[in-house]
Structure 1
């Protein structure tokens, strides 16, 4: 089975967005460089929905590109799905999306899209690993990501740390209780306006 990686951009005080779900300056580093992040040939990643490719520092591109190319499945919560309308049925990376939700797929919403609505984090990871095979399962941070970590289903934690203090907002690890020990970071990459870190979860 592929590695389950919990990932998000995060402020130095541990927030992935403010109380209104605004990411503010957290994504500025996606547009402050001269190196595009591309998926194979000329296909562009478009997490933002703007149609614009990310332009990052070379160090960030060399770090991010292989991670995104390895993703087979994204696992997200219903709140994020509703906010971005599921990226209109086109995952920003990978081939499938698992939405952890007590509610089913919205009626008539992109019936062709490979999106699966699953009630519960354990079932979500089971389904994600089935679909991903040997590829990476990318778990969005926040409340659902925190629940998946607390359930012992996360292999690695990846953080793109931006040098800003938000003071309050949506926490990277949600509202889970700790502690949940991690190993020392095995990846440390300094980009422009961001520090990329990866930690293995201590078993």
Structure 2
């Protein structure tokens, strides 16, 4: 069964976006490096938002490339789905997307896309595990990610920490209530304008 990893790019004070869902400089490191991750014409990844291929630092490239290649399913909340319109049915990585939402898929929306809607986080992860097989399940951080973590369904927490302070906004760990113990990081990679960290969740 694939590893469930809660992941996002995050400010040093723990925010994944401001109160208006703007990410500011959080994603700039994806495009400011000297090492391409994928060719600009690679259809596996969605470059439409930026019109260019991802280029990260030499230090970040092996980690980012391996992480993306391992993902089979993305689990996201309805807010992000609506913000990006589900990436027009083409997930940026992986082959499938599971959306946690009490509302169904919009009628007529990209019927060819492997997008599945689940009303609760337990069903979402169960569906994702069936779809992913042995591949990684990437859970977007935020409110839904926090619910999945609180339910004990997350195996690892991965953070790409960018040196910026937001002060307020949308929290990486959402509104999680209570403590979750993580082990010491087993990945610590210093890139340019980003620090990659990955922690196992203590059981």
**TM, length-normalised to structure 1:** 0.96
1:154 maps to which residue? 154
Contact in 2 for aligned 1:162/1:193 (Cα 8 Å): yes
Seen in structure 2, the aligned counterparts of structure 1 residues 186 and 99 have a Cα distance that, compared at 3 Å, is: same
> 1:119, 1:52 → 2: CA distance?
35
> 1:48, 1:177 → 2: CA distance?
37
Seen in structure 2, the aligned counterparts of structure 1 residues 47 and 98 have a Cα distance that, compared at 3 Å, is: farther
Shift of residue 44 of structure 1? Answer: 5.9
1:106 maps to which residue? 106
RMSD across aligned C-alpha pairs, in angstroms?
1.4
1:6 maps to which residue? 6
Superposed CA offset, 1:16-43 (max 9, x none): 000000000111111111111128x955
2:176 maps to which residue? 176
Shift of residue 45 of structure 1? Answer: 2.7
Superposed CA offset, 1:72-126 (max 9, x none): 0000000000000000000000000000000000011101100001100000000
**TM, length-normalised to structure 2:** 0.96
Moved over 6 A (4+): none
Contact in 2 for aligned 1:188/1:198 (Cα 8 Å): yes
Secondary structure in structure 1 of the residue aligned to 2:110: coil
Shift of residue 49 of structure 1? Answer: 2.5
2:115 maps to which residue? 115
Q: Which runs of 5+ in 2 are unaligned?
A: none
2:47 counterpart of 1:51: no
